[in-house]
Amino acid sequence: MKSIFVSAALIAAADALIARDSTCCFHLTASGGPGGVVGQLSDGQNRIGQTSGLANGQGTYCIDSKGGLTDGNGRGCILTPPTTQFQCDVGASPTDGFSVSCDGALSYKGNTDFKACPTGDNGGYNIYTVAPAGQGGCVSITLGADNCKSGCPAPAPAPKTCPAALSGAYEYPHLIVPVDSKQPDKAFGTQYNGTVSNTVSSLFNFDIPSSDSGKTCSLVFLFPEQKNLETSSFDFSGAGGIDFAMLKGPASSGTTYNNKPGVATDYGVTKVAPGTSSVIATFPCPGNSAIGFSLSASDNTQFSYFQDYNPSPIGLYITVC
């Protein structure tokens, strides 16, 4: 019976060692107060700002699954009672409860605030969780680890975008209306060309069918080279900056500069040039609705083109996936 108890004890001890051996190692740097790399004296005291007398200019610390720390010499790191000084002693069992957060901050039982107190020894500061009573010159610090960060959220998956090409399902504009700030009350009616200049912007309406509900829509601008156009053409000059925006509502053939819909979302300036295809924005398809967009010139861009989906397609489209 005694041998059974001994065996059980050995198994339990082995399990404990396995848990303790599951470690990850890092170095510490203090911020606030004296700041700087955390080093060690030969007796395992952890010091900040020590100018000489260190056995190890940069201490190494390993954290186990229980939140216990050991240093690079295998000494258990403890908070010595009653002062709570952070040091690592030969033969000591590590104090549990430390952790390293996603941003690398070392904490003890969830608290990242440590105290650094001057020792009078070559500019060094000892580290505590609570400043000792009667100790002067103590300052608050945080300790940052360069490894073993935990609790970091998984990176968000890249948003799905539809192709910047008419290789699958797509929608084309059902209305193109220019507006001119020099003629703010003139309605030019629907056109076949998209035009932008210093004073002219173009508004585009898309009718999204109910069958696109629940799908993803990407607003794309296709600008092939002139030699690849069969039934279209363009005039282009300037730096190629175009500001794309979603409007608060669709335009109509009677829309003017003064009564055009307001901007709901400004997608910013995209640089376009012959031979480029650009995904401007991606959003859930608003099935069974009409939506409007505007194109405005930036950087003295002058651009007029015949909107055409024949090879090679040119202009503003919504691809669906």
Q: What is the DSSP letter of 45?
A: B
The answer to whether the Cα torsion of 190, 196, 197, 198 is positive or negative is positive
For residue 191, what are the contacts with CB-CB under 8 A and spacing of at least 6?
Answer: 176, 177, 178, 202
Closest by Cα among 137, 119, 132 to 48: 119
Query: Could you name the CATH architecture of 170-320?
Result: Sandwich (2.60)
User: How deeply is 117 buried, as exposed, middle or buried, from its count of CB atoms within 10 A (0-12, 13-18, 19+)?
Assistant: buried
Q: Domain 21-145 class?
A: mainly beta
Alpha helices in 110-255 (DSSP H): none
- Tens of pLDDT along the chain (321 residues) come to 333 333 333 333 333 333 345 579 999 999 988 889 999 999 999 999 999 999 989 999 999 999 999 999 999 999 999 999 999 999 999 999 999 999 999 999 999 999 999 999 999 999 999 999 999 999 999 999 999 988 778 777 777 899 999 999 999 999 999 999 999 999 999 999 999 999 999 999 999 999 999 999 999 999 999 999 999 999 999 999 999 999 999 999 999 999 999 999 999 999 999 999 999 999 999 999 999 999 999 989 999 999 999 999 999 999 999
Note the pLDDT of residue 271: 96
Query: What is the phi/psi pair of residue 21, to 5°?
Result: -75, -10
Domain segments of the chain: what residues?
21-145, 170-320
**pTM metric for this prediction:** 0.56
Distance separating alpha carbons of residues 78 and 65, to the nearest angstrom: 16
Both structure tokens of 121: 């020894």
